Amino acid sequence: MGTLRLEVVTPDKTVVGADVEMAVCPGAEGEFGVLANHISLLSALKVGALRYRASGGKDEYVFISGGFADMNNNVLTVLAESAELAGNIDAARAQSARERAEKRLAAGDDAVDVARAESALQRAIMRLSIAVRH
Ligand code: ATP
């Protein structure tokens, strides 16, 4: 089977740079898979798990905080505000973030930015579910 190049980058760093057999992305309109030599595509991503399989390897999971995926010339570039390999997720930190967001939402205080707290909660829950896939 052929491979494609996967690059997952954030403003700070490259999180993944690998030749992979396939990648499955959390598209804004639903998951989509990309194989070698896929036609060009550009898609918005939602908070979720990106899964990929390096040549002959096992599936790896990466937390993605939304962003964009661009497939061109057999290179899939994923641009995200933040991204972490499953093994690099700090579960205790995500658990604290989850509790903080839940408290803010439960308080029902006018000063709480509900959309922001809901996004933080969504990221924390997703990180916790991906951390166990390591
Ligand atoms: P927190 O409230 O814990 O900062 P957050 O969802 O607001 O969580 P982000 O804004 O998504 O955090 O990310 C900020 C930076 O911290 C990014 O570099 C991201 O990769 C890193 N990061 C956030 N949470 C974790 C985590 N649980 N484990 C590892 N890295 C994390």
Token digits of residue 123: 């990221």
Single pTM value for the model: 0.95
Token digits of residue 45: 């991503």
List all residues whose CB is within 6 A of at least one atom of ligand 1: 12, 65, 82, 84, 88-90, 93-94, 97, 120, 123, 127
112 band by pLDDT with thresholds 50, 70 and 90: confident
Mean pLDDT across the stretch 109-133?
A: 95
Look at domain 90-133 and name its CATH class. mainly alpha
Domain boundaries defined on the chain = 4-86, 90-133
Token digits of residue 52: 């990929």
Helices (H), the chain: 91-107, 114-131
Query: Tens digits of per-residue pLDDT, 19-51?
Result: 999 999 999 999 999 999 999 999 999 999 999
Look at domain 4-86 and name its CATH class. mainly beta
Q: Which of 15, 4, 134, 6 is nearest to 81 (CA)?
A: 15
3-state SS of 19-37?
Answer: EEEEEEEEECCEEEEEECC
Token digits of residue 6: 């996967």
Query: Tens digits of per-residue pLDDT, 55-106?
Result: 888 999 999 999 999 999 999 999 999 999 999 999 999 999 999 999 999 9
CA distance 46 to 25: 9
Q: Which of 32, 35, 57 is nearest to 43 (CA)?
A: 32
Residue to mutate (ligand 1; options 64, 82, 103; most atoms within 8 A of CB): 82
134 or 64: which leads in pLDDT: 64
The phi and psi torsions of 40 (rounded to 5 degrees) equal: -55, 140
